[in-house]
Structure 1
């Protein structure tokens, strides 16, 4: 019969509070900081740092509106026209998209809406 070794000790999976995650992320991605050194100091992998950062970015992708509620999506209408339309004179930003499509952002658009739309285009 073979020998069995039982390892006992503290739980291997660690739990991180949101405050501690934010503190580690702030430290790791500060100007001039080395994420690898910060991860090593806190005994986590660099992959964990980037996973936390990506999850934080996804949560921040939809900024709240002025009244504190999450921003809703606005309906967009894409008109497929084979000919290039002339630029709208009072447009603030015109984004040319693939397949000869164009998105126009007007000055009256709220900054939160413009931010959400441009992040969605990434």
Structure 2
């Protein structure tokens, strides 16, 4: 007998994968559609990910990327609201009734901001921080 002992052992199951391997490419539309599914009230990211054959980490990465693109786009092109300055008028037209206004000390002192939209008056005092002013304007933009 020689020094080599060859014995054949039974083979285990072998899996053959046909088709393209590697990473899948998701279009921007597909990513947006999947992200919209996660933003629905009561939706769980893990369930949406499982349904599309993804890991939840991928969806959170897409959210981070979308937020970064959105923040960069809004910082690059600031949006301004047109301002119309009118002198106070003592004559009120009869066809446009205005809601009664309450005078506040900040508005009378001349140092505040007063916004009127659809009959609603919003007054921001002269000591308001820029963060507060931005939050008020953002809330008004979302509500209109």
**Which has the bigger relative contact order, CA under 8 A and spacing at least 6?**
1
Q: Structure 2 matches for 1:1-122, cutoff 5 A?
A: 7-62=17-72, 63=74, 64-66=77-79, 90-93=126-129, 105=130, 111=134
Measure how far apart 1:40 and its partner are. Answer: 0.3
Give the distance between the partners of 2:45 and 2:61, measured in 1 at CA: 13
The separation in 2 between residues aligned to 1:29 and 1:49, in whole angstroms, is 11
User: Any gaps of 5 or more consecutive residues in structure 1?
Assistant: 68-88, 94-104, 116-122
Aligned residue pair count:
76
Partner Cα separation in structure 1 for residue 20 and residue 61 of structure 2:
24
Shift of 1:6: 7.2
Q: Which runs of 5+ in 2 are unaligned?
A: 1-14, 81-124, 139-144
Partner in structure 2 of residue 75 of structure 1: none
What is the Cα deviation at residue 11 of structure 1? 2.6
Provide the C-alpha distance between the structure 2 equivalents of 1:106 and 1:51, rounded to a whole number of angstroms. 28
TM-score (normalised: structure 2): 0.44
Superposition TM-score, scaled by structure 1 size = 0.51
Which structure has the larger Rg? 2
Structure number with the higher helix fraction is 2
